[in-house]
Each structure stands twice: as C-alpha cells, then as structure tokens.
Amino acid sequence: MNVPEIELSLIKYWKENKIFEKSVQNRKGGGKFTFLEGPPYANGKPHYGHISSRVIKDVFLRYKTMKGFLVERSGGFDTHGLPVEVEMEKKLGFKSKKQIVDYGIERFNNECKASTSKPISDFKQITERIGFWIDMEKSYITMEDYYIESVWWSLKELWKQGLLSEGDKVVPWCPRCETSQSNTEVALGYKEIVDKSVYVKFKCKDRDFSFLVWTTTPWTLYANVALAVGKELDYVVKEVKGEKLVILSDLHEKFEGKILQKLKGKELEGLNYEQLFTEVKCDERCFKVITADFVSTTEGTGIVHLAPAFGEDDFNACDKKFPLLKPVNENGTFTKDVPSLEGMDVRKAGDKIIKNLEEKGALVKIENYTHDYPHCWRCETPLIYYARNSWFIQVTKIKEKILENNEKINWFPNYIKNGRFGGFLNELRDWNLSRERFWGIPLPIWECECGNKECIGSKKELKEKALNEVPSDLHRPYIDEVKLKCKCGKEMKRVPYIIDVWYDSGAAPFAKWHYPFENQDKFKENFPVDFIEEGLDQTRGWFYTLLAINTALFGETPYKNVLVTGMVLDENGKKLSKSKGNFIDPNILIDKYGVEALRWTLISQVETWEVKKFGETAVKQNYNKYVLTFLNCFEYFKTYCLNAVEVESKNPLDKWIISRMNHTIDKVEGYLESFDAFRASKKLEDFIINDLSNWYIRLSRERFESKDGDWNEAASTLKKVLKKAGLTAACLSPFIAEHIYYGIEKQSVHLQDFPEKGEVDKELEDSMDEARKIIEAGRKIRNLNKIKTRQPLERVIITKKIKEFEEIIKQELNVKRLEFNDDFEEFTQEPFAYEEFEPEQYVVLDLTITPELKAEGIVNELSRRIQQRRKEEKLTVNQKVKKIIVEGLKEWSSIEPFLENLKEKVRAESIENGKANAKEEDFEGGKIKIEIVK
C-alpha cells in the first residue's frame, strides 16, 4: 500500500472536482464561522512550526464546515520588516546599514519585494500537500498598496485620538540593524549569556568615602551623570581593604571589613562625586547623588549608576535635570568622545574598559554574571538600550480597555488569559512604532521646520495635499519624494521612518479587506473573528498587536476564541536546526510515510499547547500504528465485505461496535467543540486500533471469511462503522477519511455533515468491558504458567455470572467450556490457576493438557507457521495452493484428525508428511520444514 500515492491522487481529485470550493459553497445560507490566518513571514521555507499550526487550524475549520457553518477562509503573508531585510542582507553579503544606503534604497527594496515570491510559492505548495484547505489565491499580502492604505487610515485614527505621539525615550536598539525595537520584539529574543559585571568606586567630593557601584554594562560608565540611592533605605560606611565604601546595609556582607557609620539614603542625596572618565565632557549639573524608588535591595550594592542615554529607568530618574551623555554611535561603537575606545563595539570592549578602571584605581571587584539578555529577534545581535527620538502608540492610555477586552476572549488553554498574556498586558508600555529601516510600511507623517506635523490617512488625502505627483508604489524611496505644503507656507517632508512590522499583521482584521475604503460589509461580517490559532510566542506578538490595535480603533476584541500551540522540537527536546543535523525536510518524511502520519504526530502526541517532541521515529510509529491500521481495516472490508447489504444486526458483538462508534462520535464532537484536537484524536485512535481493528474485526474473522450464517449482518455492520469512522475522522485525517468514505459511497466525505452519534448501549458496553477484564486475567494466567494462547485448554471457570459474550471469552482464552461457580476455594489447588479480574471475583483456568488438546495446540501452531510461509511467498488471502509438505513433525499421527479443517484454513488442496524443499525451523522442541507447492 503506497500511502503517499493515495494522498496525491486525492489531492488531484479534490482539485479537479473543486471539492474545497464546494464544501464552502454548500454551506451558504447557514451560520458563519469566521477565521483569520496569522500571516507567516515570506522570508524562508515553511518549517514544522508552520505545518503544526496549519494542521491544527485545518482540523477545526473542517469540523465547523461539517457542522453546517459557512467557513470562508483565505491565507495571508507578512512581507515587510527585518525578517525580509536581514535575509536580503545575507544574500547581498551586507554587514551594515550603510551598505544598504550605498547600494540604494530603491534597489534594495525591489530585491526585498522580489524575494517574497519564492517563500509564498513554497507555502502554497506545502499547504496543498498537507491538506490544509484555505484559499491561498485570495491571500492578503501586507506589501500591497491596498493594505498599506488601510494601515495609514488606522494610524490617522490613532492620531486623531491623541494616541500617536513623538518623544525622546530610551528604546531597545539593535546596533547591527541600527533600528529600535518594540517590547513585543524584545520579548521574542532573550538568550542566557554570561557578562563580566564590575564593582566600581566613585570618590565623594564632599565626604571622606567612596560610593560602591555594581554594573553589568561597564561600557555605560562613560555616560554616567548621577548615582541613585533609596531615600529611606539604610546604608553603611564600611572600611574594606583600607577604603571607606558606602554600601546598602542589607548587602554589606558581600565585602569583609569594619562598619564605621550608618546613615539613611536621604542623607546621601545631593552629595557630589568625582567623574570616573574625564575624557567625556559634561557640565556642572553632573555627578550628584539623587534618590530613586527602583534601587534593588537584593543584588548589587544599593547604589545605581545612572546613564540616562542607555537606560529607561535612568532616563526617567534624571528627567532632563542632567545632560544626556551619548558617546556611542547608532552602530554600537564608541564615538570620538571616548578617544581611547573610539570605533570599538561597546559590548566587546569589556576587557579594555576593565583595564582602564584598574589604571584609575576605581575597580574593586569583577564577577561573572549569568542572566537572560535581549537579542535582536532577527539577526540575534545583543541589543543595547539607546535614547532616541521615536514615534509611539500610547497604549498605556487604553490599558484598562485592553484588559477588559481580554476578559471577553476564550483562551485555550484558559490559564494563558491571566497568566502569560495577562501578565504581559499588566506590564504594558507604550508601543515604540517607528523604525529606522527601509522595507516596510512608511509612517505617514509629514513635518515642517516650523514644528507643524500632519498624519495622512489615505491615498486620496495625500493626492489632495501633495505638491508633486504621488507614486503608485507607496514604499520608500518613492514616498519620500512627496512633499506637502505647510500652513506656514514652507514644504513638509515625510519623517524618515517605516513602522514596526508587527503593526502590519495586527491590522489584518480590517486591512485585508481594504477597510474602510472597500468591503465594509465584509469587514463587519468578519469582526470580531470566531477563531484564531498560532504558537505560544504570539502571546507577546500577534495576539497582542491584534488586541491593542483593534481595541484602540473599534473598542472591541478582534477575536473570540484563540487556540495556542506549542513549539515543535526534536525528539530530545532540542530546537530543530539544519546546522545541528536534527532537522529533516518535511517533504522527505511526507514522501516516505505520507502526510497523514505527520499530521497525526503533530495532533495526537501531546496537548495542543504543549511542546511537541518531533522526529522520524514518532512519524513512523504513527504511520504503522494509526495510519496503516485504519487503512487495513478498509482493505479487509474490500476483501470480504464490499457487497454487503445494509441491515440491522441482532448480534451482540455487532451491536457493541455500533455503540462504541456512537460513543466515540459523541466524545470526539465534544472535544472538537472545545478546540481540543489532542483528546479528539486520541479517542478516535483508541476506537480504530483497540475497538475496531484489534477487537471487533479480529473476533469476527470467521463470520467475515466464511460467507455463511450471519455474514451479511457482520459485513453490513463493518460497512456502517467504516462510513461513520470516515465521517468522524474527516477533519482529523482528511486523506484517510476520503479514501475510505469515497471507496464505499463514491462521494467526498468532505461534502457531508459530521455524523449523528446515534444510540449508545451502556449496559452492553459495560458487559464487554467486563468480558475484556476476564480475558485479560485469563491471558495473565497463561503467561505466568508459560502456556501459549494457541494451546487449547478444557475449561475456564468464572466466579461471577455474566450477561453477554461467553463465546468471545471462550474464543479469546481458547477453552472448550465456560462454567460459572462462586465456590472459589474449590479451585485454588493444581491443576487450577486463578487471577482476580475485579474485587473478589476470579477467573480460573484448568491447566490440564490432554493428548488431544496437545495435538490441537500443535495444529494451531502449524497453521500459524503455514500462514507465515504464505505471506513470504506473497500469496493472496484467497489463493489456493496444490499442496503443503511438512517434514520432521514428530507428532504427525496425532494431528491427522485435524488435517481436513487445517486444509480449509490454509487454502490447500492437501497437506502431506514428506520430504520438503524448504529451510529448517525450530518447532515445539524439534525441527521441521514447510514447503508450499503452488
């Protein structure tokens, strides 16, 4: 069975017959279930995280369609920002922002735009191959002018509300990309690193002591303008190695010495100290002690050095009372203001700075400090904090409304709402929007020398106010050429910024429709959307930007239900990486096992929101365990039951499997309603493997294969169950479900409704559960006594009367008789053996093996060996052979009474004892050969 070929033929069938389109169109007139695709970045190949997310989305979109909802869904692509720019810089061999400027912004941006076509094509290909039904031809693309115009409209609305403002602030800064980043982006790039931290003394001018300061960023000491202490905190002056040092009382034990004096932080306020590095020029306002409420009492020394150009707390504490010393370039190197370090990368200059401190006699101690430090989320360069003039969205003004809207959202899992996401919202800071880059949506603000600023909200408005022609492409550098006339009479120029790429995707609920310029009805029908799903990292990314932007614009949450998916790691819990050699191209696994095995691995392994340990071992296991089992059930049906006429069966086993199917439908539906693909898949898998394949079909083989008696009832039952199983599996395993359902009904399963559960016979299911416990206990007795299942025994005794399935118990335990006897004590001695199957109820086997029973056991084992040889010879199930020759079987005479039955079982005209041309094999303590003569 070639599963990948089956899947490819189904994709062809779906395309040629427009099954996806019909599945949507057929639901017109019904209720709507709306969905918004989180746009992947068009800057690389799809990875397992993308595939996992798309598979999970597909499950619920298919399910809602089968429940009668109109589920229109289209794709989307994020095409701007650092993800695209950094990849292009790698391709062009650029190491700095200056190289882009020298290359030409127009050429660079054109290259960026062109580079998105291949990733978009790759995403379309993998989307089709994994069976994710979504309209990729109608995907929204963030670089298109219609999308940019809608974003401009939204920014103009924020401008009108006073939420879009300019200001000087310390922002996270990537010195390689030479641009600021938002707190959202910073949250995506933390890594654990080890820094050299230093304890440094600043000599007080007004007293006979020095202030002891601790810092993990020695390079910022060149920008120091003040020291901060806690006003009401207790400090001591301590003599350490002949030096009088001021340190927080709670932390003084870090240094051995004698306490000379105790004082409050407010007694230190206003004291002056000597500048550490005099090569950086500063006026008389500098180098004073101030008080602040952010001074730590658990690490450091309780005295904080302040460099307002490089720290947010520092900047706010100094509050323009001190000059802003900024001896660092935008590329993270020291300026000429620090002659001894000019041109050096600040984060690589640590050893040199420490040497300078030693030479000045200011260094007290060096310690390695392990901590999580922010890195650029795209190029992985360590960030610095840097004072800049930037444009911000003042989300702190609408923080309460954002928190209120979060309470309206159904989170899966629920603990994310007030945990990871809610915690992030509670610490909300204003959104740093502007970026000093090239490929992105231009910030539509024009400014004049006179200080006047204007925000443009549409192409129409821009054309009305422009002094020159408005370009058809709204990107840089074309938009930079457009000038407006200021009310003062001078020309206004556009500010030289693009916007944070995370704003692009956060605008998707309205920008994908080109709202408000077009499709106002479409937007209203789809806002807020019923369902979104993305990875856990988006709690500080897309989930947040969606909520913040749309709360500001519309006062509402943009989504009702959000499902969070966990990361996909390798089998050892390590990040998947080509460089580490633990990444397998998804197409290789799909070509080898088919996509259903991959889908099932991503759905059924763990809770949707938990980390998934993924690798070929798990895919292969699911291929063998679930995919092939399900398909083999259908192959068995085709072999023995294809012509069955559907009837109602009175056979308890048939009624039991129907009940189990209905029970499974009910449970799967309940889980899917709760966006729980994991439990839905495990429930279906348990039914297919344990109830249908390993139990019902196995127990019914004689009924299926004999074509006598109640064959039609059994075959009809299997037909019904496979149809319902296909319908139930359609959203979870769309390829297998289609193969099975179409094979029976010659219709697409994806144009059907989700199945009605039907009647569940709990009493009958309980009886079967009891029978299974009895069988399990009986098998345990056999195992403990080393008696194979193929060896018949005379009887089983059960201490409890059972209602159903006596014949199944006899069949499974391979016994001739089943007896009920509540006098357990009678069977506690040899040749009996017993096992408890429920509290104070026992299964007893009579272990006496008569010569007749022994002979029958040998025949059963011989039958198994012959069937094994038939498989090796690649004979079909029903193919008859002329004869089977058995050589070396010592017990031949004892098995002769069973040969007629054996011939029927193994499809042979005769079975003979003679010279066999075959390999020798171990058998019941001897050696035999088995030859099949065709």
452 CB-contact burial (10 Å; exposed 0-12 / middle 13-18 / buried 19+): middle
Confidence band of 580 (pLDDT split at 50, 70, 90): confident
The per-residue pLDDT for 828 is 82
Residue 79 lies in a domain: no
CATH number of 898's domain: 3.30.2320
- Mean pLDDT of all residues belonging to the chain: 94
pLDDT in tens, 500-539: 999 999 999 999 999 999 999 999 999 999 999 999 989 9
Q: Based on the fold, state whether residues 355 and 216 are members of the same structural domain.
A: yes
DSSP reduced 3-state for 882: strand
The per-residue pLDDT for 596 is 98
Residue 727 lies in a domain: yes
The per-residue pLDDT for 817 is 94
- Minimal CA–CA distance to 760: which of 649, 661, 646, 648? 661
Distance CA 37, CA 132 (A): 12
Cβ–Cβ under 8 Å, residues 492 and 452: yes
Residue 503 lies in a domain: no
Cβ–Cβ under 8 Å, residues 684 and 664: yes
Q: Based on the fold, state whether residues 814 and 739 are members of the same structural domain.
A: no
The per-residue pLDDT for 1 is 87
The per-residue pLDDT for 406 is 98
Confidence band of 152 (pLDDT split at 50, 70, 90): very high
The per-residue pLDDT for 464 is 94
Residues designated catalytic:
39, 78, 502, 538, 542, 575, 578
Model-level pTM?
0.89
CA-to-CA dists, residue 463 to 105, 459, 470, 482, 522, angstroms? 23, 6, 6, 10, 27
- Minimal CA–CA distance to 919: which of 928, 932, 908? 928
Looking at 26-40, 300-314, 577-591, 804-818, which range is the least confident one? 577-591
Q: Based on the fold, state whether residues 369 and 220 are members of the same structural domain.
A: yes
Cβ–Cβ under 8 Å, residues 701 and 718: no
Q: Which of 356, 374, 392 is the last residue of a domain?
A: 374
Residue 113 lies in a domain: no
First-to-last C-alpha distance (Å) of the chain:
25
In the predicted model, is pLDDT for residue 577 greater than 80?
no
State the greatest distance between any 2 C-alpha atoms of the chain, in Å, as a whole number. 118
Q: Based on the fold, state whether residues 755 and 825 are members of the same structural domain.
A: no
Looking at 221-230, 370-379, 470-479, 666-675, which range is the least confident one? 370-379
Cβ–Cβ under 8 Å, residues 84 and 8: no
Task: List CB contacts of 691: < 8 A, sequence separation 6 or more.
Answer: 657, 660, 664
Q: Based on the fold, state whether residues 235 and 361 are members of the same structural domain.
A: yes
Angle made by CA atoms 82, 86, 89, in degrees to the nearest 5: 140
In the predicted model, is pLDDT for residue 417 greater than 90?
yes
Where in the sequence is the domain holding 843, given as residue range(s)? 764-849
Phi, psi at 747, each rounded to 5°: -135, 155
The per-residue pLDDT for 824 is 79
The per-residue pLDDT for 359 is 92
Cβ–Cβ under 8 Å, residues 865 and 920: no
Residue 564 lies in a domain: no
pLDDT in tens, 853-909: 999 999 999 999 999 999 898 888 888 999 999 999 988 999 999 999 999 889 999
Q: Per-residue pLDDT averaged across 341-370, rounded?
A: 93
Q: Which of 759, 780, 798 is the last residue of a domain?
A: 759
In the predicted model, is pLDDT for residue 709 greater than 80?
no
Q: Based on the fold, state whether residues 255 and 311 are members of the same structural domain.
A: yes
Q: Based on the fold, state whether residues 831 and 889 are members of the same structural domain.
A: no
CATH number of 276's domain: 3.90.740.10
Confidence band of 187 (pLDDT split at 50, 70, 90): confident
Distance CA 463, CA 494 (A): 14
In the predicted model, is pLDDT for residue 581 greater than 80?
no
Q: Per-residue pLDDT averaged across 14-30, rounded?
A: 95
826 CB-contact burial (10 Å; exposed 0-12 / middle 13-18 / buried 19+): exposed
The per-residue pLDDT for 188 is 83
CATH number of 655's domain: 1.10.730.10
Q: Based on the fold, state whether residues 212 and 349 are members of the same structural domain.
A: yes
Distance CA 429, CA 797 (A): 74
Distance CA 816, CA 810 (A): 7
Residue 64 lies in a domain: no
The per-residue pLDDT for 575 is 86
Confidence band of 67 (pLDDT split at 50, 70, 90): very high
Q: Which of 339, 355, 374 is the last residue of a domain?
A: 374
Q: Based on the fold, state whether residues 845 and 859 are members of the same structural domain.
A: no
In the predicted model, is pLDDT for residue 223 greater than 90?
yes
- Minimal CA–CA distance to 153: which of 489, 588, 455? 455
The per-residue pLDDT for 803 is 80
pLDDT in tens, 102-150: 999 999 999 999 999 999 999 999 999 999 999 999 999 999 999 999 9
Q: Based on the fold, state whether residues 748 and 794 are members of the same structural domain.
A: no
In the predicted model, is pLDDT for residue 728 greater than 90?
yes
Confidence band of 702 (pLDDT split at 50, 70, 90): confident
Q: Based on the fold, state whether residues 206 and 310 are members of the same structural domain.
A: yes
pLDDT in tens, 782-793: 999 999 999 999
pLDDT in tens, 803-841: 889 999 999 999 999 999 988 788 888 899 999 998 989
Q: Per-residue pLDDT averaged across 11-19, rounded?
A: 98
Q: Based on the fold, state whether residues 210 and 356 are members of the same structural domain.
A: yes
Residue 681 lies in a domain: yes
The per-residue pLDDT for 578 is 72
The per-residue pLDDT for 882 is 92
Distance of CA 138 to the CA centre of its chain: 25
Give the E-state strand segments of 755-802 in sequence order.
793-798
* Number of structural domains the chain divides into: 4
The per-residue pLDDT for 355 is 94
Residue 482 lies in a domain: no
The per-residue pLDDT for 753 is 97
